[in-house]
A and B are shown apart, each in its own frame.
Chain A
């Protein structure tokens, strides 16, 4: 199975409300996590990242929370706007035999739908 996954395939929220998108990971050795936003027909766009030595990190209207005890990651989007409509992926950094980062392991994604 997938080592990084999301709980809900679709999340519908009212414009102006806060959105919370969840993600579970299974590799306890993972130490770097990233949230990407993918709009229709485009490549993933970096939103925010967090290292395993942190529990919380804030950006502009976005907050990522990391709970290593239960291997859970969440993305909070404040005051959701129509432009936030997209698929959101969490990803964790993978490592090669030499110890260097060699790619990302993605979950299936959550489709965030903004209702007016």
Chain B
């Protein structure tokens, strides 16, 4: 069935290092893909979205490229900051007014 698989659990990095959070999906649709970021005790916020194959989309220093051939939409940043510590969700629009979310990846950035 339809699903989203993310980098499991916790990713810890030192400030200034690059990060890549993996996201792969399985769906019979040609979906829109999203990344949401949720800081502690806050609501999730939309970070990136894409439906265009092989086109890089960027926002707030984060970027991702949808690759339909490999069903992937990995999130990257070249230099993480302390403020990037948060829970990150990959999701896709599976139609019928439903977003399917991955389990989430916690990114923890240390000084």
Do A and B share a complex? Answer: no
Give me the interface of B with A, judged by CB distance under 8 Å.
none
